[in-house]
Amino acid sequence: MKRTVIRGRMAGPEERPAIFDPWLELRAAIVRQAAIDFIHIMQKLWKPNIPLEEKRQLMREKIELEKFFYSSWYDLLCEVPPEKLIRACMEKARKAEQVEDEAEMA
In a domain, 13, yes or no: no
pLDDT at 5: 52
Q: Does residue 96 or residue 63 have the better pLDDT?
A: 63
Rounded CA separation 56/59 (Å): 5
**Number of independent structural domains in the chain:** 1
Q: How far apart are CA 55 and CA 11, in angstroms?
A: 32
Q: Would you say residue 18 has pLDDT above 90? A: no
Is 8 part of a structural domain of the chain? no
Domain membership of residue 10 (yes or no) is no
Q: What is the pLDDT of residues 36-94, one digit of tens each?
A: 999 999 999 999 899 999 999 999 999 999 999 999 999 999 999 999 999 999 999 99
Rounded to whole angstroms, the Cα distance separating 23 from 34 reads 17
Residue at 16 is within a domain: no
User: Nearest Cα to 63, choosing from 37, 81, 97?
Assistant: 37
Q: How confident is the model at residue 1 (pLDDT cuts 50, 70, 90)?
A: very low
Q: Is the pLDDT of residue 4 over 60?
A: no
Task: Examine residue 49 and state whether it is found in any structural domain, yes or no.
Answer: yes
Within a domain: 84:
yes
Which domain range does residue 49 map to? 22-105
CA-to-CA distance for 54 and 78, rounded, in angstroms? 31
Residue 77 forms part of a structural domain? yes
Tell me: pLDDT of 13 over 60: no
